[in-house]
Structures are given as structure tokens and as C-alpha cells.
């Protein structure tokens, strides 16, 4: 990339605060609502346009007429990319009852195909970005019945690709609205 057009600044709160005091042509921010408010307030001082990606729910519907194998592969790839720490990864699936069991089987097969029978040993499966996020995700595992996965290791910040079933709509995992999920669930 052209170093006169783009630069990367590594840092935390002090560096970010200093950057936000500058006038920018446009700001893109991905993260949580608390910091999103800070970014928006800083941008408003200069009337800088902002794109905020603050998480949210990302449902998918699997219809009876779908190619279930293709759907399972695509959902698995999108959900567990970067250990589920993507803002647009599917976080719950609504599956037509007549194909639910077949789809679950295919989704399990997709996870094994991508990450092996023990994803903790896979070079392609990441870890939670922080201890805080790891603890939060582990807490969400109690939101439904574990169909696949559920294993976790706090020392390694590992949470297995997990499929929860029978998750009540008012359960914590269904209320979660920020990225860093490694669970996939549906009712």
C-alpha cells in the first residue's frame, strides 16, 4: 500500500485518543458501542463522516429446499472464521424442522472438515482476543444444549467451535450483540 496514503498506528487508549483529535476525511470503526460513542463524539467536532460497525445479531434461515451441504459449509466458514470474532458472522440459524437433523449433521461434518476432530490443535482455528472475551464467551455456553463443542481452556483463551441447540430467545447468547462469539445457536 502507498505509505503516503495509509499508515498503521499501534497502540491503546492514549494513541487512539491522540488520533481522534485529528481531522480525518472519514472514520471507519469496528467494535463495541461504548468506544463507538467516543469515536462518534470525536468525529462530530470536525463533522467527519463515520461508519460504525458495532455488532448486532446475524441470523440465517435454512429452508427445506436449500442445498444443505453448501449451506452448512458456508455457515461454518463464516461463523468460525477468526474463532468467531467477526462482526458479520452468523450467530443463529433458523432451520426448517423437516431438515434440522440432517443440517445439524452436515454442519458438524463441516466443522470437522475445516478444523479436524480436535480444533484446539488446528493451525486454522484461532483464539479469543483477550481473557475478558474468553470468559464472556464461556459464560454464554450455558445458554442452550451443547450439540457440538463447548470445550474451553482459559490459559490458551480457547473456545471450541460450538453449536448450541434449544436456546431460549431470552437466553444470554441470544441477547449478545457484540462480536467475539464462537457459538452458533438456534431454537
pLDDT in tens, 16-35: 899 999 999 999 888 778 88
Say how far residue 142 (Cα) sits from the centre of its chain: 18
* CATH 3.40.309.10 location in the chain: 59-186
* pLDDT for the residue numbered 184: 53
Instruction: Summarize pLDDT for 85-141 with one digit per residue, the tens.
Output: 877 788 889 999 999 999 999 999 999 999 999 999 999 999 999 999 899 999 999
* pLDDT for the residue numbered 176: 67
Per 3-state DSSP, the chain is made up of helix, strand and coil in percentages (nearest 5) of 40, 15, 40
Give the dihedral of Cα atoms 173, 176, 178, 181; nearest 10 deg.
0
Helix 68-80 / helix 100-115 crossing angle, nearest 10 deg: 50
Give the predicted TM-score (pTM) of the model. 0.75
Of 184 and 81, the one with more pLDDT: 81
Check if CATH label 3.40.50.720 holds for domain 59-186.
Answer: no
Cα 127-94-133 angle, rounded to 5 deg: 20
Instruction: Summarize pLDDT for 23-67 with one digit per residue, the tens.
Output: 999 998 887 788 899 999 999 999 999 998 887 778 899 999 999
Q: Just list the catalytic residues.
A: 53, 87
- pLDDT, averaged across the chain: 88
C-alpha cell, 72: 452448512
Amino acid at each position: 500500500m502507498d505509505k503516503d496514503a495509509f499508515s498503521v498506528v499501534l497502540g491503546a487508549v492514549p494513541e487512539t485518543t491522540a488520533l481522534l483529535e485529528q481531522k480525518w476525511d472519514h472514520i471507519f470503526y469496528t467494535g463495541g458501542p461504548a468506544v463507538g460513542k467516543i469515536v462518534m463524539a470525536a468525529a462530530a467536532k470536525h463533522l467527519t463522516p463515520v461508519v460504525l460497525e458495532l455488532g448486532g445479531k446475524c441470523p440465517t434461515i435454512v429452508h427445506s429446499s436449500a442445498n444443505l451441504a453448501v449451506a452448512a459449509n458456508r455457515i461454518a466458514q463464516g461463523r468460525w472464521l477468526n474463532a468467531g470474532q467477526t462482526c458479520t458472522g452468523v450467530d443463529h440459524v433458523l432451520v426448517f424442522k423437516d431438515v434440522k437433523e440432517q443440517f445439524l449433521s452436515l454442519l458438524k461434518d463441516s466443522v470437522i472438515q475445516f478444523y479436524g476432530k480436535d480444533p484446539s490443535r488446528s493451525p486454522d482455528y484461532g483464539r479469543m482476543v483477550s481473557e475478558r472475551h474468553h470468559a464472556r464467551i464461556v459464560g454464554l455456553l450455558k445458554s442452550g444444549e451443547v450439540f457440538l463443542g463447548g470445550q474451553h481452556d482459559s490459559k490458551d483463551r480457547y473456545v471450541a467451535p460450538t453449536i448450541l441447540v434449544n436456546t431460549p430467545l431470552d437466553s444470554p447468547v441470544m441477547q449478545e450483540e457484540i462480536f467475539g462469539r464462537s457459538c452458533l445457536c438456534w431454537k
